[in-house]
Amino acid sequence: MKYIFPKDFWWGSASSATQMEGGYNLNEKEQNIWDYWYEIAPEKFHNNIGPKDTSKFYYKYEEDIELMKNLGHNSFRFSISWSRLIKSDGSVNLLAVDFYENVINTMIKNNIEPFINLFHFDMPMYLQEIGGWENREVVSAYQNFSKKCFELFGDKVKKWFTHNEPIVPVECGYLGEYHYPAVVDFKRAVQVGYHIMLSSSLAIMEYKKLNQGGQIGIIVNLTPSYPRSNSEEDLKASNIADLILNRSFLDTSVLGEFPGELIEFVKEQDLLPIYKTQELEIIRNNTVDLLGVNYYQPRRVKAKESQVKDNEPLTPESFFDFYDMPGKKINPHRGWEIYEKGIYDLAINIRDNYKNIPFFISENGMGVEGEEKFKVEGRIEDDYRIEFIKEHLKWANKALKEGCNLKGYHLWTFMDNWSWLNAYKNRYGFVEVDINNEFKRTPKKSSYWFKDVIENNGF
Ligand code: BGP
- Tell me the per-residue pLDDT of 340-361, one tens digit each, with 9 for 90 and over: 999 999 999 999 999 999 999 9
For ligand 1, say whether the CB of 12 is within 6 Å of any of its atoms: no
> Does residue 398 surpass a pLDDT of 90?
yes
For ligand 1, say whether the CB of 297 is within 6 Å of any of its atoms: no
For ligand 1, say whether the CB of 418 is within 6 Å of any of its atoms: no
Percent of the chain surpassing pLDDT 70:
100
The H or E element spanning position 222 is none
| pLDDT confidence of residue 1 | 81
Residue 164 alpha carbon, nearest atom of ligand 1:
8
| pLDDT confidence of residue 5 | 98
Integer Cα distance of 132 and 130 in angstroms: 6
Cβ–Cβ under 8 Å, residues 384 and 332: no
| pLDDT confidence of residue 263 | 98
Integer Cα distance of 293 and 295 in angstroms: 6
298 Cα to the center of ligand 1, angstroms: 15
- Domains of the chain and any CATH numbers: 10-456 (3.20.20.80)
Q: Closest Cα to residue 72, out of 4, 8, 12, 158?
A: 12
For ligand 1, say whether the CB of 110 is within 6 Å of any of its atoms: no
Please give the mean pLDDT across all residues of the chain.
98
Nearest-CA residue for ligand 1 atom 12 is: 419
| pLDDT confidence of residue 71 | 98
- Tell me the per-residue pLDDT of 368-382, one tens digit each, with 9 for 90 and over: 999 999 999 999 999
> 19, 363, 366, 417: which to mutate for ligand 1, most atoms within 8 A of CB?
363
| pLDDT confidence of residue 307 | 85
382 Cα to the center of ligand 1, angstroms: 19
Q: What stretches of 123-165 show up as alpha helix (H) in DSSP?
A: 125-128, 136-153
Integer Cα distance of 298 and 265 in angstroms: 23
Integer Cα distance of 68 and 47 in angstroms: 29
pTM: 0.98
**Which distant-in-sequence residues (6+ apart) come within 8 Å of 369 by Cβ?**
333, 334, 425, 426, 427
- Tell me the per-residue pLDDT of 64-92, one tens digit each, with 9 for 90 and over: 999 999 999 999 999 999 999 999 999 99
> Does residue 309 surpass a pLDDT of 90?
no
Cβ–Cβ under 8 Å, residues 26 and 58: yes
The mean per-residue pLDDT over the stretch 302-325 comes to: 94
Residue 336 alpha carbon, nearest atom of ligand 1:
16
| pLDDT confidence of residue 285 | 98
> Does residue 160 surpass a pLDDT of 90?
yes
Nearest-CA residue for ligand 1 atom 4 is: 419
Q: Which residues are catalytic?
A: 165, 363
> Does residue 310 surpass a pLDDT of 90?
no
- Tell me the per-residue pLDDT of 43-55, one tens digit each, with 9 for 90 and over: 999 999 999 999 9
> 78, 419, 424: which to mutate for ligand 1, most atoms within 8 A of CB?
419
Q: What stretches of 10-113 show up as alpha helix (H) in DSSP?
A: 17-20, 33-40, 57-70, 82-85, 94-109
> Does residue 445 surpass a pLDDT of 90?
yes
For ligand 1, say whether the CB of 22 is within 6 Å of any of its atoms: no
For ligand 1, say whether the CB of 315 is within 6 Å of any of its atoms: no
| pLDDT confidence of residue 6 | 97
Cα Rg of the chain (Å, integer): 21
Neighbours of 416 (CB within 10 A): 28
> In which band, very low, low, confident or very high, does the pLDDT at 284 lie, cut at 50, 70 and 90?
very high
Integer Cα distance of 208 and 126 in angstroms: 28
Nearest-CA residue for ligand 1 atom 2 is: 165
